[in-house]
């Protein structure tokens, strides 16, 4: 058994067997490393931090828009609606919209639930105050409503879904979504154990890379003197590579022990991929490019898949919760909708953004002034008229168009 395996098994107090149910009980106190998998412990893993930071930051940076749809199907941004200021600008007096959505999205990623107290005035929601999920108790009331209880700084609330916004994560249960911390505990725990074992293995900077042989047995005093002399001269990273002088019949041979032999790199790479799999993030997006190139269509398709299958599903969940729990029947009757503006994802891609504009102008679903407005430029005369290219016309009409153009 190599040194890294021995260090890891020391931390987990014995080998792991997937057939042993004792290793998979749902209790934070039963982790193999003895460390409770709290938010702090999990976010201490660089991969988990990168995944959560990527998912949460991307979602929170997208603007939440309130639209009003007309009878003819056209729609406009409803800046006069009270929810526009709350969702797009500032949900409360202490947070910007970015701060608020980062808190809610982080709660969803780690705990499977995002909560906020609705601040109302004359029946309208005029503010949202976030609630930490760990303080919340959710229950089904006899009348069919859902009750919420929580305590903050000694003050307690006992409310219903009338005054609490509840965005549920994956799972579909009315009382709450599934917690990534709960269901991914063993994955996070094993990654923590691997990191701790690596630290324990290399913390002194003195690995048994050489073997010193003597012709005769050493006494206890002689052995202690040799070990002390080696530690004084070679212990620590600053002393690595210092020459060793053999004398008195000593024989020195090298002992090959590197991180790959200790399976450290393989184990840590596996834990990175496992954590990325839990969050639905392509490994290359958190800096893990092993066994893949950093460029090319493969990476591009993985990134596109991340937007389509991981990010869009999360955004849709939030949008539907906001519409169901914040909009009144009158709002719905007047065509009020709430959506994330996904066009913001193109802002970092100038080529993609240029193609988006080009397609809109060429095919007539955007006008010049609409493009200029998005780029914070003033309108121009005639720029409000949609335009469409006419090169693709029926062959039977080609001669007629040529004659008209000649006139």
Q: DSSP labels for 234-290?
A: H-SGGGTT------TT-EEEE----TTTTTHHHHHHHHHHHHHHHHT--GGGGT--T
**pLDDT per residue over 83-116, tens digit each?**
999 999 999 999 999 999 999 999 999 999 999 9
195-223 burial code (b ≥16 CB/10 A, e <16): bbbbebbbeeeeeeeeeeeeeeeeeeeee
Same domain, 233 and 339: no
Counts of helices then strands in the chain (DSSP H, E): 15, 11
Query: How far, in Å, CA of 332 to CA of 320, rounded?
Result: 13
Same domain, 248 and 333: no
Grade residue 278 by pLDDT with cuts at 50, 70 and 90: confident
DSSP classification of residue 334: T
Find the mean pLDDT for residues 286-309: 64
Query: How far, in Å, CA of 366 to CA of 371, rounded?
Result: 7
Query: How far, in Å, CA of 145 to CA of 137, rounded?
Result: 14
Vertex 151 angle, CA 148 and 155, to 5°? 120
**pLDDT per residue over 27-57, tens digit each?**
445 666 667 778 888 888 888 899 999 999 9
Same domain, 314 and 199: yes
- The segment with the largest mean pLDDT, out of 144-153, 237-246, 274-283, is 144-153
Find the mean pLDDT for residues 214-240: 70
Instruction: Name the β-bridge partners of 147.
Output: 139, 160
Same domain, 289 and 341: yes
Domain boundary among 254, 288, 321: 254
Same domain, 231 and 101: no
> Is the Cβ–Cβ distance between 332 and 66 less than 8 Å?
no
pLDDT, residue 25, reads 42
- Beta-carbon contacts of 280 under 8 Å, excluding residues fewer than 6 positions away, are 306, 309, 310
pLDDT at 17 over 50: no
Same domain, 240 and 137: no
pLDDT, residue 376, reads 64
Closest listed residue to residue 213, CA positions, set 244, 249, 241 = 249
Query: How far, in Å, CA of 390 to CA of 372, rounded?
Result: 24
Query: How far, in Å, CA of 296 to CA of 167, rounded?
Result: 37
Query: How far, in Å, CA of 337 to CA of 159, rounded?
Result: 26
> Is the Cβ–Cβ distance between 4 and 12 less than 8 Å?
no
Query: How far, in Å, CA of 81 to CA of 95, rounded?
Result: 20
Query: How far, in Å, CA of 404 to CA of 334, rounded?
Result: 46
Same domain, 129 and 272: yes
Same domain, 160 and 101: yes
Domain interval for residue 224: 210-254
Grade residue 320 by pLDDT with cuts at 50, 70 and 90: very high
Domain boundary among 192, 225, 254: 254
Same domain, 248 and 319: no
Domain boundary among 331, 348, 365: 348
Find the mean pLDDT for residues 354-365: 83
Query: How far, in Å, CA of 272 to CA of 161, rounded?
Result: 38
Find the mean pLDDT for residues 274-294: 76
Q: How far is CA 305 from CA 95, 285, 298, 300, in A?
A: 32, 12, 11, 9
Same domain, 235 and 372: no
Grade residue 206 by pLDDT with cuts at 50, 70 and 90: very low
Grade residue 6 by pLDDT with cuts at 50, 70 and 90: low
Closest listed residue to residue 245, CA positions, set 256, 235, 234 = 234
- Tell me the two tokens of residue 138: 């959710």
Mean pLDDT of the chain: 78
Domain count, the chain: 3
Same domain, 137 and 278: yes
pTM here?
A: 0.68
Same domain, 355 and 342: no
Closest listed residue to residue 272, CA positions, set 261, 260, 284 = 284
Sheet containing 124-131, strands listed edge to edge, beginning at the edge strand earlier in sequence: 124-131, 113-121, 164-168
pLDDT, residue 389, reads 72
């Amino acid at each position: 058994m190599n040194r890294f395996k021995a260090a890891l098994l020391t931390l987990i107090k014995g080998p792991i067997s997937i057939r042993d149910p004792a290793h998979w009980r749902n209790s934070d106190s039963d982790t193999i490393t003895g460390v409770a998998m709290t938010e702090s412990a999990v976010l201490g893993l660089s991969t988990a931090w990168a995944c959560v930071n990527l998912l949460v930051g991307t979602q929170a940076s997208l603007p939440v828009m309130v639209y009003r749809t007309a009878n003819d199907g056209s729609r406009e941004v409803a800046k006069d609606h009270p929810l526009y200021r709350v969702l797009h600008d500032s949900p409360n007096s202490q947070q910007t919209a970015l701060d608020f959505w980062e808190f809610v999205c982080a709660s969803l990623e780690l705990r499977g639930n995002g909560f906020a107290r609705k601040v109302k005035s004359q029946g309208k929601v005029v503010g949202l105050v976030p609630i930490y999920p760990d303080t919340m108790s959710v229950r089904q009331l006899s009348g069919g409503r859902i009750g919420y209880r929580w305590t903050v700084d000694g003050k307690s609330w006992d409310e219903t879904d009338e005054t609490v916004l509840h965005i549920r994560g994956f799972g579909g249960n009315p009382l709450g979504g599934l917690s990534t911390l709960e269901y991914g505990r063993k994955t996070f725990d094993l990654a923590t154990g691997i990191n701790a074992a690596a630290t324990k293995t290399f913390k002194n900077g003195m690995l048994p890379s050489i073997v010193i042989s003597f012709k005769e047995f050493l006494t206890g005093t002689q052995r202690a003197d040799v070990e002390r002399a080696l530690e004084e001269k070679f212990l620590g990273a600053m002393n690595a590579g210092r020459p060793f002088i053999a004398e008195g019949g000593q024989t020195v041979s090298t002992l090959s022990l590197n991180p790959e032999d200790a399976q450290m790199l393989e184990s840590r790479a596996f834990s990175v991929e496992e954590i990325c799999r839990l969050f639905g993030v392509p490994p290359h997006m958190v800096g893990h490019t092993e066994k893949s190139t950093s460029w090319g269509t493969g990476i591009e398709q993985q990134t596109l898949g991340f937007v389509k299958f991981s990010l869009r599903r999360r955004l849709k969940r939030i949008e539907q919760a906001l519409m169901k729990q914040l909009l009144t029947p009158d709002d719905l009757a007047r065509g009020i909708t709430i959506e994330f503006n996904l066009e913001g994802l193109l802002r970092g891609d100038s080529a993609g953004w240029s193609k988006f504009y080009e397609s809109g102008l060429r095919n007539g679903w955007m006008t010049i002034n609409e493009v200029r407005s998005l780029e914070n430029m003033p309108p121009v005369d005639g720029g409000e008229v949609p335009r469409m290219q006419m090169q693709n016309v029926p062959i039977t009409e080609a001669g007629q168009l040529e004659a008209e153009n000649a006139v």
